Amino acid sequence: MAIRTRHGHPVLIIGAGRGGCALLEMFIEDSLVKVVAMADTNPGAPGIRLAKKYGIPTYANAVDALHACKDYPDCIVYNMSHDDSIAAEADKIFGGKRVASGPEVKLFWQMVTNLKKIKDDLEKSQNHLQSIIHNVMDGIITIDESGAIQGFNPAAEKIFGYPQQDVMGKNVKMLMPEADRSQHEAYIHQYLQTGQSRILGIRGREVTALRKNGEMFPLEMSVSEMMLGGMRYFIGIVRDITERKLVEQQLAYFAHHDYLTNLPNRILFSNSLGQSILLAKRNHYKVATLFLDLDGFKQINDTLGHDAGDQLLQEVARRLQNIIRTSDTVARIGGDEFTFVLNNIGSNENAEQMAGKIIAALSVPFDLKGQQCQVGGSIGISIYPDDAEDIENLIRHADAAMYLAKQSGKNTYRFYRDVLREQSADE
């Protein structure tokens, strides 16, 4: 066999069964060892097949293999067969004891088998971990002490819009808005100097992040620390919470607004009236509370259906919003009932004028499903501080005045003072 220049220590393996094959597999992946030949009487042995796959010369006779390798300097022979005469033949050919056989080969084979199993287990574990990292829905970002990005999984790529190769080795500040970058550096510096941190170990910390396209978005982040090979790393688990924030905003909005008309609901109306009372008390002015109940709504709802009724309420809400001042409030508190807060009305006549505007706005016919429909409105008015000085009584008195307006022929308004006058007359 012609001698060829090879990198790694030359090795001849005799015996291509399980042990020889396992030894060959290990040596193939080791740059310090170069298998120069393999021998076995069985041409179909697994080690022979593997050797041929990698272009390693194979022999059916161990002595032929020994002679072929005699010119390799310091060639080591691993006798994985059960033929103890191999050692003597090697001694004749090489002129020195370079054969590992017998009990030492058995021990070595067991060591190789165990190492291979450990290696396979480690590879499986690593592949499993890499699979999790690459398929997890949360972004995983690893940085070193200087802030340089060392790891950026596919989920992080999707969240921030950067391919991994564009961020590796760059400072993680590129993923933050300008206003937060110096603060981030201060956090890391403080932790490295004092060991005190306000970030590490905190789950679900909400921050603002920056996408590649310049868009800022809400991010939920949990950061932990890891020591590896004597180096300190920080691992961030990040999640884009844009959709969650939108849902939260919608829930918060509809907790205080009517789902059909988008007007403030009863809760927000009470809050608004409460604030108006506080300001009126401090600045010594009047606030009017109006209670509106539509006249004729039930008939439209019953004859044209609930869809038409909903359309009517939406159009009523639009008209009411158009006629009140920006400092005032109109709310839908249920069914076809609406309430108003009119701030700093000056005199009672101004509240009366607004009631007239509301009735006039409602008098214009509504186009519902191609049909012209008309409704009216009965309005009750109570005044702070003349009629009451708290939310509950102002609304209750406006409601009482509204019922008096209905009793008076509908599509009109009455003040709470009119209710008191009626009560006095009945007495």
283 & 403 share domain = yes
Residues 215 and 260 in one domain: no
Residue 249 lies in a domain: no
Strands annotated E in 322-388: 329-334, 337-342, 366-368, 371-373, 376-384
301 and 202, same structural domain?
no
Residue 166 included in any domain: yes
* Residue 419 and residue 282 share a domain: yes
Range of the domain at 261: 256-426
What residue has token string 């390799």? 72
Q: pLDDT value at position 40?
A: 94
- Number of domains within the chain: 3
Residue 248 falls inside a structural domain: no
**Whether 405 and 294 share a structural domain:** yes
The pLDDT assigned to 5 comes to: 44
Say whether both 297 and 158 belong to one domain. Answer: no
* Phi and psi torsions of 325, nearest 5°: -75, 160
pLDDT at position 60: 93
In this structure, is residue 200 part of a structural domain? Answer: yes
Amino acid 74: pLDDT: 81
Q: Rg (Cα) of the chain, in Å, rounded?
A: 44
pLDDT (0 to 100) of residue 2: 44
The CATH number that applies at residue 340 is: 3.30.70.270
147 plus 43 within the same structural domain: no
Counted residue by residue, the chain has a size of: 427
Q: Can you tell me whether residue 204 is helix, strand or coil?
A: coil
CATH number at residue 210: 3.30.450.20
In tens digits, the chain (427 residues) has pLDDT values of 444 444 688 989 998 988 888 888 888 887 888 999 999 999 999 999 999 999 999 999 999 999 898 888 788 888 888 777 887 788 788 766 567 765 666 666 676 667 767 777 777 776 666 666 666 788 889 989 888 999 998 889 999 999 999 999 999 999 999 888 877 777 777 777 776 666 666 677 888 999 999 999 999 988 888 888 788 888 888 999 999 999 999 999 989 999 999 999 999 999 999 999 999 999 999 999 999 999 999 999 888 889 999 999 999 999 999 999 999 999 999 999 999 999 999 999 999 999 999 999 999 999 987 889 999 999 999 999 999 999 999 999 999 999 999 999 899 999 999 999 988 876 6
Question: Does residue 232 share a domain with residue 104?
Answer: no
396 Ramachandran zone, left/alpha/beta (phi>0; psi -120 to 50): alpha
**Cβ neighbour number for residue 3 with a 10 Å cutoff:** 12
* CATH code: domain of residue 13: 3.40.50.720
Contact (CB, 8 A) for 313 and 332: yes
Distance, first Cα to last Cα, the chain:
132
> What helix, strand, coil percent values describe the chain, rounded to 5?
50, 25, 30
CA distance 388 to 401: 13
Residues 31 and 60 in one domain: yes
Which of 210, 241, 272 marks a domain boundary?
A: 241
Cα distance between residue 87 and residue 77, in whole Å: 9
Tokens read off for 213: 């396209």
Task: Say yes or no: 23 and 97 in one domain.
Answer: yes
Nearest to 205 by CA among 182, 250, 236: 236
Q: Judge whether 260 and 313 are in contact, CB under 8 Å.
A: yes
17 in a domain, yes or no? yes
φ/ψ (deg, to 5) at 141: -125, 130
Joined together, the tokens standing for residue 18 give: 């399980």
CA 222 to CA 237: how far, in whole Å? 5
**What's the whole-model pTM score?**
0.60
| Residue 328 within any structural domain of the chain | yes
Q: Do 237 and 355 belong to one domain?
A: no
Q: Are 380 and 399 in contact (CB under 8 A)?
A: yes
- 190 and 289 fall within a common domain: no
Looking at 209, 241, 273, the residue that finishes a domain is 241
> Coil, strand, or helix at residue 370?
coil
Alpha carbons 343 and 350: distance in angstroms, whole number: 11
Of 212, 241, 270, the last residue of a domain is 241
Is residue 265 situated within a structural domain?
yes
Q: Is residue 131 part of a domain?
A: no
| Whole-number Å distance between alpha carbons of 311 and 371 | 12
